[in-house]
Amino acid sequence: MTALIIDDEVQIRRLLRLALEAKDHTVREAENGTLGLQTAVFHKPDVIILDLGLPDMDGVEVLKRLREWSPVPVLILSVRDQEAMKLAAFDAGADDYVTKPFSTAELLARLAAIQRRQGGEDSAALEAGPLRLDPVHHTATLSGGPLKLTPTEYALLAQLVKHTGKVVTLRHLLRAVWGPQSEHQTNYLRVYANHLRKKLEGSGLEIQNEPGIGYRLVGQEA
């Protein structure tokens, strides 16, 4: 596995490199957003750790540019702990968010979780109406055409497709997609459900919200 660290703090990059190499990751580094995007293009990392406070551009802007062409899992690592900032990062396509100072063990666990979500846990294809998810290749098609999803969007949609027509509880979705530590972060679900609604527009599929309970995927006829 190759990890790309985009952070302007040398000490943080050194700490992360040691931790990741101990887990047999190949590590690439970039000290600013421009170099980070270039490195992502040329080296195609399996996961990216991205700081928001970069010297040349805001990390959210880096993330938006990255999402124009890549679904690679991105973990935000930042001193900014405001709820609005976290939601902005998730809205731009982040897969997880860890604040500084951080526990190395927690960060490695978060990285492992988003990599598992990317790989999928089951090889059987998932289908709902015109939607088809392929867990082996981590691809999605809608009405026969490709549907571009980030790893977290894919993981959430897969949970809904598995239980098409049934309400999947907030707790179940948060644990399945973000892990046990995120059980109370219902705003994460709101942001990603909105992403998926936009991508499913015109397909006959709808993601319904049962306030305070959960979400379900239904067809037009339901």
What pLDDT score does 216 carry?
94
What pLDDT score does 118 carry?
62
- Per DSSP, the three-state class of 197 is helix
What pLDDT score does 152 carry?
85
Q: Is the pLDDT of residue 123 over 60?
A: no
Over residues 135-166, the pLDDT tens digits come to: 777 789 999 899 988 888 888 999 999 899 99
May I ask the CATH architecture of the domain 2-119?
A: 3-Layer(aba) Sandwich (3.40)
Q: Is the pLDDT of residue 38 over 60?
A: yes
Specify the pairing of strand 126-128 against strand 131-134. antiparallel
- Per DSSP, the three-state class of 208 is strand
State the number of CA atoms in the 13 A half-sphere of 63 facing the CB: 28
What pLDDT score does 151 carry?
81
Check if 2-119 and 126-219 are the same fold: no
**Among 48, 218, 74, 205, CA closest to 140:** 205
Over residues 45-66, the pLDDT tens digits come to: 989 999 999 999 999 999 999 9
State the distance between the two ends of the chain, measured CA to CA, in whole angstroms: 43
The class that CATH gives domain 126-219 is: mainly alpha
Q: Greater confidence, 180 or 101?
A: 101
**Among 199, 218, 220, 222, CA closest to 209:** 218
Which of these ranges, 37-51, 96-110, 120-134, 149-163, has the smallest mean pLDDT?
A: 120-134
Structure tokens of 178? 């973000």
Over residues 13-28, the pLDDT tens digits come to: 999 999 999 999 999 9
- Confirm if 163 and 176 have CB atoms less than 8 A apart: no
Name the residue ranges covered by the structural domains of the chain: 2-119, 126-219
Torsion of CA 12, 18, 19, 25, to 10 degrees: 110
What pLDDT score does 222 carry?
39
Buried b (16+ CB within 10 A) or exposed e, 170-187: beebbebbbbeebeebee
Pairwise CA distance, residues 2 & 46, whole Å: 5
State the number of CA atoms in the 13 A half-sphere of 129 facing the CB: 17
Structure tokens of 35? 């170099």
Whole-model pTM over 0.85: no
Q: Is the pLDDT of residue 221 over 80?
A: no
- Confirm if 59 and 53 have CB atoms less than 8 A apart: yes
Phi, psi torsion values for 189, nearest 5 degrees:
-65, -40
Over residues 159-201, the pLDDT tens digits come to: 999 899 999 999 889 888 877 667 778 888 899 999 999 999 9
Phi, psi torsion values for 177, nearest 5 degrees:
-95, -45
